[in-house]
Structure 1
Amino acid sequence: MTIILHELVGADPARPFSPHCWKAVMALAHKGLPFERSNVCFTKVPEVEGGVSKTVPVIRDGDQVVSDSFMIAAYLEETYPDRPSLFGGEGGQAMARFVESWTNTVLHGVMRDIAMKGIHDALAPVDQAYFRSSREARVGKTLEQMVEGREAALAALPGTLMPVRVTLKSQPWIGGSSPLFADYIVFGALQWVRLTSNARLLEADDPVKDWFERCLDLYDGLGRSVPQSA
């Protein structure tokens, strides 16, 4: 049975940009599970699967409905143990929780000012109004003020990624010898900005750049199938 993945899109349904939805996409591909992508705009999220969640991604796997990217990964790991592991064991799952916490609280904080205006501009008008009001209330800044912080955010990004850079100097993936869900968590953040901004995030000689390019090539170029923002 094909799994249905509800994921966030803007005015162009061919350009899904949510970092959390990309984590779910990569997790499903990692498991080698067939899935169908269902497009959802911001203002339609409350209608997904009867309002099961305030956010996407949400998956339906037969009678099972699961929300939240980490919970989706944990569900896939438990339900399909014969498929390639997303965590490499209980300890790996616990460590992935740390990577997610760092990404959500530190890395996303830097990425926000780079991405927010681009996200707004990619939405349909009804979603633009919702996005502006909700994000400005959450952050305490206007979108224009976030744009003013874009250069400072770009300057701060290399230092913010230092833990990832140091890790990748001694191993090819955050997960070790092969990619795991921890890789997809950080990948989702960089993919988010790649698809909403034309900013050059990483220098050519940066180990994080090499890692990100390899992530884009995984699963027949799944991440690269959506071109970078012009």
Structure 2
Amino acid sequence: MSEIVFYDIPGKTEDTKAWSPSTWRTRYSLNFKGIPYRTEWVEYPEIEKVCKEIGAEPTDKSPDGKPLYTFPVIHDPSTNTILSDSTPIAEYLDKTYPDSPKLFPPGTKGFHAAFDSAFYSILARTPSLWNLVALGACTNLTPRSEAFFRDTFWRRRCDETTPIEELAGSEGSERKEQNWREVEADWVKIGTWYEASGGLFLTGGETPCYADIVLAAWLVWARQSWGKGSEDWKRLERLDGGRWGRFMKAFEKYEAVV
């Protein structure tokens, strides 16, 4: 089996080199399935150029109607397949490598569709996790990627009326506490899904599925952006009786960065 080439965006330190919630979904998937791969690190300003060079499809459109190229992208030399976007990549990995652990266990496609609708509705309604994490995610980038993020991505996708430095609110401010109240309410609600499953993961038992990976990718983004020893990360880990700390502990075995 040839190594899959996995395209990712680097953070500026070795400890936080892998940081993006979008690409962590693919990294977790590859590690969970035990599929050999290597990471090709590409700075933000080079993503479109690299995607066009290798033939990766755009995943969206910019407000001006131009194609939007994003990571993750994989190139699988074994099948000469180049694929964009984390969910199609996960589906491809299950189909192409059926003898490895399943990201989508049999009979769970409807469950995963319902999960996507419920989870992303929560994120769209209260962008407070984004507010708390955005500045750390931005400043974790290399200088070149950070400048691109601020000048391009931020203006295209986010709230231009509020400087990124002000989204979270200062320590002890009402703005920051309001963000945290909303995050706590959201993640306690998500925790009820796990309570109903009766296991560590959403389908019950001790083996994650792709929905668990989606949640872990958002949480690892927060951890990498704040820092593992930060008070913000410790606060998130302690939520819901420590549920999310235990959850992320279970994902440590899938966090190799190669």
| Structures share fold, TM-score greater than 0.5 | yes
The structure 1 residue matched to 2:29, chosen from 27, 30, 47, is 27
* Runs of 4+ in structure 1 over 6 Å off: none
**What's 1:47 paired with?**
49
CA distance in 2, matches of 1:150, 1:176: 34
**Correspondence 1:67 to 2:84:** yes
The structure 2 residue matched to 1:147, chosen from 168, 178, 186, is 168
CA distance in 2, matches of 1:73, 1:194: 23
2:187 aligned partner, one-letter code = L
The structure 2 residue matched to 1:85, chosen from 102, 107, 111, is 102
- Are the aligned partners of 1:164 and 1:174 in contact in 2 as well (CA < 8 Å)? no
- Where does the alignment leave 5 or more consecutive residues of structure 2 unmatched? 59-68, 170-174
**Correspondence 1:172 to 2:187:** no
**What's 2:154 paired with?**
135
**What's 1:192 paired with?**
221
**What's 1:201 paired with?**
236
Q: TM-score, normalised by structure 2?
A: 0.77
Q: TM-score, normalised by structure 1?
A: 0.86
**Correspondence 1:3 to 2:4:** yes
- Are the aligned partners of 2:236 and 2:244 in contact in 1 as well (CA < 8 Å)? no
**What's 1:100 paired with?**
116
CA distance in 2, matches of 1:13, 1:42: 17
Q: 1:40 to 1:101 in 2, by over 3 A?
A: farther
Q: 1:37 to 1:201 in 2, by over 3 A?
A: same
Q: CA deviation at 1:13?
A: 5.6
- Are the aligned partners of 2:10 and 2:142 in contact in 1 as well (CA < 8 Å)? no
Which shows bigger deviation, 129-138 or 100-109?
Answer: 100-109
**What's 2:38 paired with?**
36
**Correspondence 1:57 to 2:92:** no
Q: Structure 1, residues 21-52: CA drift from partner, whole Å, max 9, x if none?
A: 11101111121111101112211111234262
CA distance in 1, matches of 2:222, 2:176: 12
- Are the aligned partners of 2:25 and 2:213 in contact in 1 as well (CA < 8 Å)? yes
The total of aligned residue pairs comes to 220
**What's 1:115 paired with?**
133
1:77 aligned partner, one-letter code = D
**What's 1:183 paired with?**
212
How much identity, in percent, do the aligned residues show? 24
**What's 1:161 paired with?**
187
Q: CA deviation at 1:172?
A: 1.8
CA distance in 2, matches of 1:105, 1:12: 33
- Are the aligned partners of 1:107 and 1:189 in contact in 2 as well (CA < 8 Å)? no
CA distance in 2, matches of 1:26, 1:85: 12
**What's 2:63 paired with?**
none
Q: Which has the larger radius of gyration?
A: 2
- Are the aligned partners of 1:86 and 1:180 in contact in 2 as well (CA < 8 Å)? yes
**What's 1:228 paired with?**
none
Q: CA deviation at 1:105?
A: 4.3
Q: CA deviation at 1:150?
A: 4.0
1:95 aligned partner, one-letter code = F
CA distance in 2, matches of 1:83, 1:28: 10
SS at match of 1:86: coil
Which shows bigger deviation, 130-139 or 69-78?
Answer: 130-139
CA distance in 2, matches of 1:3, 1:37: 9
